[in-house]
């Protein structure tokens, strides 16, 4: 019979525990089977960090066996619920009512929105009133009717100007109002602009003729022999590009001076004029220039063939001076 060393009673008491721990440890170190490895790759590193230790698990279980853990959890839940109820009881009634959802009326509107709407309505009313009462022409809007006819002066040929084969001179007559090619009023010469047509004079010439015969002639005061209508002459430049060629502009200015001289001579010929012999003959013309036509009219003053005092007034339309 062998002797045991001192402290053998303690070792014998701890032997079963150590043996059981050794068996459990050996079981935990046993390598898993191939089938288990193929189906269970193992927990990820993050899961390993979150794993609860055996001592903590045993502690929770022991607490559960003793019943103290359940009591603590129940007490904690009761305390939490008691705090919540206490907070609700301490909250004022008006705050609780404010938390409740209150449906708004569809007709509710803020003061700012109301004032903005009223200002917009007032502005709209003022615009409509101004358009209806303040911006209307007393005569109203009406259609402009024209019955144009042009008298070509074929005798204004190379004897008068060297540009007779290139340019032409016309006299506008409103059909039904101006009868015959004879001149009887105040001469007005229309000069078209860049690539413009001589027929552009028809709108203002037609309105002038109708206004004189429908408004001024029936009037007793207008029957004064000194009140005459306007004779609109117009030059045809074959729609030349005056703005892109300086020599073309000079040629047109020279032709304008020759046309003015010829127009004034018409009023001296009794066969081509119906003027009152008691009145003086016109010695100048009024020039109406459109766009580049106004530049041509100004250039006529510096041409060598310019006749002094032959141009009384220059009226320009869309001319940059």
> Both tokens of residue 112?
């700012």
Distance of CA 228 to the CA centre of its chain: 49
**Rounded CA separation 100/94 (Å):** 10
Contacts of 244 (CB under 8 A, 6+ apart): 194
**Rounded CA separation 212/177 (Å):** 10
> Per the residue annotation, which of 168, 206, 208, 291 is the catalytic one?
291
Is 169:235 a contact under the CB 8 Å cutoff? yes
**Rounded CA separation 191/294 (Å):** 7
Radius of gyration of the chain (CA): 57
**Rounded CA separation 203/199 (Å):** 9
| Sign of the Cα pseudo-torsion (180, 183, 187, 192, in order) | positive
Which of 191, 301, 200 is CA-nearest to residue 257? 301
Contacts of 175 (CB under 8 A, 6+ apart): 147, 148, 149
SS3 category, 202: helix
Q: How many CB atoms lie within 10 A of CB 194?
A: 19
Question: At what angle are helices 54-66 and 68-90 packed, to 10 degrees?
Answer: 80
Q: Is 291 a catalytic residue?
A: yes
**Rounded CA separation 88/199 (Å):** 93
**Rounded CA separation 70/210 (Å):** 114
Active site residues: 291
């Amino acid at each position: 019979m062998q002797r045991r060393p001192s402290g053998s009673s303690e070792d014998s008491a701890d032997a079963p525990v150590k043996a059981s721990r050794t068996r459990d440890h050996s079981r935990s170190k046993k390598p898993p089977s191939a089938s288990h490895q193929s189906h269970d790759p193992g927990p990820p590193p993050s899961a390993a960090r979150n794993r609860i230790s055996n001592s903590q698990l045993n502690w929770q279980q022991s607490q559960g066996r003793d019943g103290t853990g359940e009591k603590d959890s129940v007490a904690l839940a009761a305390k939490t619920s008691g705090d919540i109820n206490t907070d609700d009881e301490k909250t004022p009634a008006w705050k609780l009512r404010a938390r409740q959802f209150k449906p708004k009326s569809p007709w509710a509107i803020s003061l700012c929105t109301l004032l903005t709407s009223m200002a917009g309505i007032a502005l709209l009313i003022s615009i409509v009133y101004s358009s209806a009462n303040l911006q209307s022409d007393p005569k109203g809007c009406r259609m402009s009717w024209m019955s144009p006819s042009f008298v070509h002066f074929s005798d204004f040929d190379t004897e008068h100007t060297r540009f007779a084969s290139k340019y032409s001179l016309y006299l506008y007559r409103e059909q039904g109002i101006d009868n015959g090619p004879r001149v009887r009023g105040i001469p007005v010469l229309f000069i078209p602009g860049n690539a413009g047509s001589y027929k552009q004079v028809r709108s203002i010439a037609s309105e002038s003729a109708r206004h004189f015969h429908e408004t001024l002639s029936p009037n007793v005061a207008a029957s004064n022999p000194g009140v005459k209508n306007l004779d609109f002459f117009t030059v045809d430049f074959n729609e030349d590009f005056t703005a892109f060629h300086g020599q073309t502009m000079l040629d047109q200015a020279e032709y304008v001076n020759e046309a003015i001289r010829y127009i004034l001579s018409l009023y001296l010929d009794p066969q081509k004029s119906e003027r009152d012999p008691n009145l003086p003959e016109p010695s100048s013309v009024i020039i109406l220039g459109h766009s580049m036509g106004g530049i041509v009219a100004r250039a006529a003053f510096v041409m060598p063939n310019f006749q002094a005092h032959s141009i009384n007034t220059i009226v320009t339309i869309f001319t940059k001076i």
